[in-house]
Chains A and B, each alone.
Chain A
Amino acid sequence: MLDNLSINQRAAILSLVMLVVGLLIWEAAIPAQKAAEDLTEYERLMGLGQERAGVPPPSDVLVKAWEQLSDPFYDAGPNDKGIGIQIGYSIYRVLSGYLMAALVAIPLGFLIGMSRVAYKAFNPFIQVLRPISPLAWMPLALFIIQDSEASAIFVIFICSIWPMLINTAFGVAGVRQDWVNVARTHELGSLKTAFTVILPAAAPTIITGMRISIGIAWLVIVAAEMLVGGTGIGYYVWNEWNNLDLTSVIFSILMIGVVGMLLDSAFAVLQRAVAYAE
């Protein structure tokens, strides 16, 4: 029977089986909490009878998810906002930092890719700045910018700039001389050549850089928001951990994954749109 299915269908079935088995094992592995009267003297003395935070079973997480997702945008004060609002804040920060980075990285990458002198001049800075963990900038950003919101955005900016910059420079430098010659023999000006020949030729490499950047930005925003607090999915995770609400923690971890996947697949679509075969 399985032989008649396509590879995709078979893979989908297998994924589903793994999911169900995984959840069942998880569910079964959580021991039911003992009722207080069943405790031994020793256990009572050790304080083991108290209500304690345990890892919740998946069924609890599902209930939580249902609860949260059915009203994602409620706002009941600074420490109690719907998951939709929190994710919205995070996406807003990621996108603002990311867009600013793109505005700097892509033109600069073009310049570096087109000119060997510019490449050599910028290279030492890039080599030193790139390996710095984006969070290491946080204290400096907080001190200089004096605003936690803007500092978080700055951290996103600084972490997403490098892959875009390097890939743009690499893509532009690697454009076939033959294509540039086509532009030259057609007397295209430098701006026209940049937009009609070099940009489309380098686009797949540039989009790959942008895709790597958005992935990193989404990784970093969670950590940044844990540091600066206030709003956002990173803050939410940390806040729920302080409340010892592990169900919410697990639920928000899942949401971080889902949003990350969606961002990535948007770039996958873009990547397919600009891809070409030689």
Chain B
Amino acid sequence: MSKPFLSIERLTQRFPDGQGGTLTVFENASFGIEKGEFVCILGHSGCGKSTIMNILAGLAEPTSGVVKMDGLEVAGPSLDRGVVFQNYSLLPWLSTLKNVIFGVKARYPDWPRDKVEAHARDYLAKVGLEGDVVHRKPSQLSGGMRQRVSIARAFANHPKLLLLDEPFGALDALTRGTIQDELLKIWGGTEQTVFMITHDIDEAILLADRILLMTNGPYARVAESVEISIPRPRNRTEIVEHPNYYTIRNHLVQFLGQRSKEMAGERIEGEDLRPETVRIDQAAAPATEDNPDKPPLRAVNE
């Protein structure tokens, strides 16, 4: 088995629990992400998703374990890993355009000013921000527009890996929808590898190639890796018509509603805890008669 583009190997994170003991958020977690893949991670609040993402970004160090990207160990933050945070990732004293320019200048320090600006404007236009809006400060933008700017800034830098931590968590459902579409559009034209945290099941199905499911902590595990067998380009109204949609959705709901709690806190001894690959495909294997309502699950262990 060849090494994936991004490989997370035996990652363990412990924190002092504030009462003299230690809290093990996760232990020996291992998984990989392929180049160009869009991976979402789903799990309840507090299970350790942001902790994983901060380690991938290089903003935090794990207690033990390594993250390798392109075969090189991640040590500290890098322009190769762009991050979109849930909030506050724009600098409020800079205009929208200047915020994007800030990123482009850091990435391409040799570019002349006008090239930097044109590039920044180009990416803002890709998320629908053109004209006078680009001169507004973040505080004068709606929450949705602000997140668009963050996305434009991240994509404009062509990072090898894009990390998004609940980027739409603070937005209302309608705005969420439009920005998801915009994210799909801007992602569609690239080979961008994306790792995104969310707690919205429908969002994950719409966007991801693969969804990682995390159990509740402590000793949280990335228990399953569910492949989203729905062809692209996807669209929120058509996607629900696909035969796999509800089976996948039910599987996810069931995991988050029940199994994530059942598996919480159970510590599994093991060197290398990898998620079980789950492929749900109604079209390929229709439900058999003796087992009509159970989706055909296949656990594939490579």
The interface of chain A, by Cβ under 8 A from chain B, is 176, 178-179, 181-182, 184-188, 196-197, 200-201, 203, 274, 276-278
Contacting residues, chain B, for A188 (C-beta < 8 A): 106
The interface of chain B, by Cβ under 8 A from chain A, is 57-59, 76-79, 81-83, 85, 87-89, 91-94, 102-103, 106-107, 137, 139
B81 & A185 in contact (Cβ 8 Å cutoff): yes
Contacting residues, chain B, for A200 (C-beta < 8 A): 91, 93-94
B137 & A182 in contact (Cβ 8 Å cutoff): no
B79 & A184 in contact (Cβ 8 Å cutoff): no
Partner of A187, one of B85, B88, B102, B106: B106
Take A200-B93, A276-B92, A277-B92 as given contacts and tell me if A178 and B85 are in contact as well, using a CB distance cutoff of 8 Å. Answer: yes
**C-alpha spacing A200/B90, complex, angstroms:** 13
| A202 → B minimal CB distance (Å) | 11
Contacting residues, chain A, for B76 (C-beta < 8 A): 184
B77 & A185 in contact (Cβ 8 Å cutoff): yes
Partner of B83, one of A181, A201, A277: A181
**C-alpha spacing A178/B90, complex, angstroms:** 9
B102 & A196 in contact (Cβ 8 Å cutoff): yes
| A199 → B minimal CB distance (Å) | 10
Contacting residues, chain B, for A186 (C-beta < 8 A): 79, 102-103, 106-107
Contacting residues, chain A, for B106 (C-beta < 8 A): 186-188
A178 & B89 in contact (Cβ 8 Å cutoff): yes
- Which 4 A/B pairs are nearest by Cβ-Cβ distance? A277-B139, A186-B106, A276-B93, A178-B88
Contacting residues, chain B, for A196 (C-beta < 8 A): 102
Contacting residues, chain B, for A185 (C-beta < 8 A): 57-59, 77-79, 81-83
| B297 → A minimal CB distance (Å) | 38
B81 & A182 in contact (Cβ 8 Å cutoff): no
Contacting residues, chain A, for B103 (C-beta < 8 A): 186
**C-alpha spacing A184/B60, complex, angstroms:** 11
**C-alpha spacing A277/B82, complex, angstroms:** 25
B59 & A184 in contact (Cβ 8 Å cutoff): yes
A276 & B77 in contact (Cβ 8 Å cutoff): no
